[in-house]
């Protein structure tokens, strides 16, 4: 999931003001924008040389990128959010963290370059994507027990499921912007941005470039439908999986995230039984890894080295 709202109090929380009244997406800030622009050309070159693909056990082709220190002892896998893909969600992390780690950046099935197939959202799609992520790690030959999972939004939930289901693979988990269950409040937030034509050009452009305007609208509508179906089925995403996460976990949260309210981060904080560290960004919104890219990357790097970077639990 990611912040896609244009009206009411949610826009005031998530967006900068806009004289045109358009939804502008999460405010990255001048430093973050400059960093992303500086990184783009170099990252694209690395992506071209690092592109790989594998086929899942159910026959789906997944594109991923194998970047950074090939001989590094540990591997990072980056799991994008809803509709997102490696370059749209993680350019600053790929550039910085690949200096010290081997980085696997995947385009989830039906997203980015992992198309076809057309994106679909069955009720178990996040659990299915957790299996896909584990298969990418194995196909890349990453050492079992040496894999660090970084997940944003939907990717955070996928990461929690993967850590719970494959403790043999996952060494540490870093998650932010996720939610282990869906409430009516959440669905109302999502539906506030149902019409993708109201998104600002800056927000929509990366997705329109890959999916086309009609394709973006269809994919987003299908995702909204999937969220409503999850709510109707009881709202559970991975509450039970959260109880089974045993690897050291770093949970980050933007206090001004208007897309994923703070009670979701608090649930993960209270429920995950593993040694957990919590780090909040007082002015952060949903995209703390982009808005505060340099600080975020350094926090993650230190955590993966075994340092204390936030409030400890358990």
65 strand-pairing partners: 51, 105
Question: In Å, how far from its chain's centre is CA 301?
Answer: 17
CB 260 within 8 A of CB 81: no
Contact between 286 and 260 (Cβ < 8 Å):
yes
Pair type for strands 249-254 and 276-281: parallel
Catalytic residue from among 88, 253, 257, 289: 257
Q: Are 186 and 157 in contact (CB under 8 A)?
A: no
Name the pairing type of β-strands 102-106 and 61-68.
antiparallel
CA distance 260 to 255: 10
Neighbours of 117 (CB within 10 A): 11
Find the catalytic residue in 3, 98, 241, 286. Answer: 286
- Residue tagged active-site, from 153, 241, 253, 289: 153
Active site residue 286: yes
- Tokens of residue 205, six digits: 């452009």
- Does the annotation count 257 as an active-site position? yes
Report CA-CA distances (Å) from 159 to 81, 116, 128, 165, 166. 11, 24, 12, 10, 10
Exposure string over 187-209, b if 16+ CB within 10 A, otherwise e: bebbebbeebebbbeebbebbbe
Q: Kindly list the catalytic residues.
A: 153, 257, 286
């Amino acid at each position: 999931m990611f912040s896609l709202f244009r009206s009411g109090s949610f826009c005031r929380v998530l967006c900068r003001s806009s004289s045109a009244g358009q939804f502008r997406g999460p405010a990255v800030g001048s430093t973050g924008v400059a960093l992303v622009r500086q990184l783009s050309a170099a990252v694209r070159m690395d992506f071209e040389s690092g592109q790989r693909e594998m086929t899942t056990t159910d026959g789906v082709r997944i594109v991923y990128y194998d970047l950074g220190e090939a001989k590094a002892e540990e591997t990072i896998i980056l799991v994008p959010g809803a509709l997102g893909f490696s370059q749209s969600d993680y350019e600053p992390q790929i550039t910085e963290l690949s200096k010290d780690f081997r980085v696997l950046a995947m385009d989830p099935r039906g997203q980015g370059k992992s198309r076809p197939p057309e994106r679909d959202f069955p009720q178990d799609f996040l659990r299915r994507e957790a299996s896909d992520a584990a298969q990418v790690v194995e196909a890349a030959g990453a050492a079992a027990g040496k894999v660090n999972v970084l997940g944003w939004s939907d990717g955070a939930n996928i990461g929690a499921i993967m850590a719970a289901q494959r403790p043999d693979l996952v060494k540490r988990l870093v998650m932010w912007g996720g939610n282990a269950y869906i409430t009516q409040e959440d669905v109302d937030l999502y539906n506030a941005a149902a019409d993708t034509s109201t998104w600002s050009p800056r927000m929509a452009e990366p997705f329109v470039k890959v999916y086309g305007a009609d394709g973006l609208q269809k994919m987003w509508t299908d995702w909204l439908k999937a969220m409503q179906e999850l709510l109707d089925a009881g709202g559970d995403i991975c509450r039970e999986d959260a109880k089974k996460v045993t690897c050291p976990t770093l949970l980050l949260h933007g206090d001004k995230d208007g897309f994923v309210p703070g009670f979701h981060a608090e649930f993960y904080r209270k429920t995950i039984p593993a040694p957990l560290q919590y780090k909040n960004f007082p002015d952060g919104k949903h995209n703390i890894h982009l808005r505060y890219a340099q600080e975020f990357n350094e926090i993650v790097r230190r955590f993966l080295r075994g340092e204390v970077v936030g409030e400890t639990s358990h």
